[in-house]
């Protein structure tokens, strides 16, 4: 191993594991780590996985961006997508609008765009947010841009599958409408996760440590993924160590 595993490399590896078995993974804008995780998952699958990275010329067959993304999602032809939020709560609700009482929000964010649409249609939505603080992981979002769960009888093939943060990995239990802590990243503790999470979640008595990527996976990240993600995110690619 040429250098210690960085937090970014760990997150890329975690995301890649969550995408195992997918046929088509789509990645939205401003998502270099999810995009890298998808490219790693494809490399580990023997290049059998289709990857569509918005904003990339090499890793997307879209000619009209979001329009085709939405069409494919409606047809059930996208297996996984990524969403984030300025706020995320324990029921998987995300807020992309702002904080405070809507419409007079104290802080304004870019907006929901098609997040609710994709949240309902894509079966494996991975919530991703590096910052894991009580400012982000809140008891209840101030504005529901996209709901994590729906009432019985509502057709919804999609929804939250997992939550990946800078502190740990959570799975989402759709029946119970709550997260379960799967692992804590190396260098962090369960107490740190509890202190920085505003919502309740299920957890084992002793939380496992998120496994580090092995030397083969690290080499793929630092060589293949680094070169490929540079098409859409050259500055991000420059921060990845070269193999």
Residue numbers of the domain that contains 18: 7-86+113-136+146-239
Q: How many CB atoms lie within 10 A of CB 107?
A: 10
For residue 82, being part of any structural domain is answered with yes
Q: How confident is the model at residue 186 (pLDDT cuts 50, 70, 90)?
A: very high
Instruction: Check pLDDT > 50 for residue 135.
Output: yes
* Total of domains in the chain: 1
Residue 47 falls inside a structural domain: yes
Confidence of residue 42 (pLDDT cuts 50, 70, 90): very high
Q: Is the pLDDT of residue 59 over 90?
A: no
Residue 96 has pLDDT above 70, yes or no: yes
- pLDDT number for residue 225: 97
Q: Is 91 inside any structural domain?
A: no
Residue 2 lies in a domain: no
Residue 93 falls inside a structural domain: no
What is the DSSP secondary-structure string of 35-87? HHHHHHHHHHTTS-SEEEETT-SSS---SSTHHHHHHHHHTT---EEEE--SE
Q: What is the pLDDT of residue 66?
A: 81
pLDDT at 2 > cutoff 60: no
Strand partners, 89: 138
Q: Is the pLDDT of residue 54 over 70?
A: yes
With a pLDDT cut of 70, the percent of the chain lying above it is: 99
Note the helical H segments in 157-208: 190-195
pLDDT band at 79 (very low <50, low <70, confident <90, very high): very high
Q: Is the pLDDT of residue 69 over 90?
A: yes
Dihedrals phi, psi of 92, to nearest 5 degrees = 80, 10
Given a cut of 90, whether residue 1 has pLDDT beyond it is no
Q: What is the mean pLDDT of residues 144-164?
A: 96
| Residue 227 · residue 219 · CB < 8 Å | no
pLDDT at 243: 67
157 within domain boundaries: yes
Average pLDDT, the chain: 95
Domain assignment present for residue 48? The answer is yes
Q: Is residue 227 part of a domain?
A: yes
At residue 74, does pLDDT exceed 50?
A: yes
As a three-state string, the secondary structure of 177-191 is CEEEEEEECCCCCHH
Question: What residue ranges in 78-152 does DSSP mark as E strands?
Answer: 80-83, 87-89, 94-95, 98-99, 107-108, 124-129, 137-138
Q: Is the predicted pLDDT of residue 175 greater than 90, yes or no?
A: yes
Could you count the other beta carbons within 10 Å of the beta carbon of residue 55? 18
Q: What is the CATH number of the domain that holds 219?
A: 3.40.1080.10
* pLDDT at site 166: 98
pLDDT at 11: 98
């Amino acid at each position: 191993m040429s250098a210690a595993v960085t937090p970014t490399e760990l997150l890329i590896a975690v995301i890649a594991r969550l995408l195992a078995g997918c046929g088509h993974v789509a990645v939205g804008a401003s998502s270099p780590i999810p995009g890298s995780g998808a490219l790693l998952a494809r490399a580990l699958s023997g290049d059998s996985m289709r990857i569509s990275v918005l904003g990339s010329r090499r890793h997307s067959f879209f000619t009209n961006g979001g329009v085709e993304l939405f069409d494919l999602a409606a047809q059930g032809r996208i297996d996984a997508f990524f969403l984030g939020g300025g706020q995320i709560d324990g029921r998987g609700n995300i807020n992309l609008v702002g904080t405070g009482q809507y419409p007079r929000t104290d802080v304004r964010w870019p907006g929901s765009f098609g997040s609710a649409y994709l949240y309902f249609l894509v079966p494996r939505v991975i919530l991703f947010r590096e910052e894991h603080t009580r400012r982000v992981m809140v008891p209840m979002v101030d504005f529901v841009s996209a709901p994590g769960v729906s009432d019985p009888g509502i057709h919804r093939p999609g929804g939250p599958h997992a939550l990946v943060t800078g502190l740990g990995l959570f799975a989402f239990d759709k029946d119970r409408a709550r997260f379960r802590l799967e692992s804590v990243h190396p260098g962090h503790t369960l107490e740190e996760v509890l202190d920085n999470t505003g919502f309740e979640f299920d957890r084992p008595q002793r939380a496992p440590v998120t496994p580090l990527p092995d030397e083969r996976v690290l080499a793929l990240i630092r060589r293949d993924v680094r070169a490929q993600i540079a098409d859409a995110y050259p500055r991000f690619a420059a921060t990845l160590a070269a193999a």
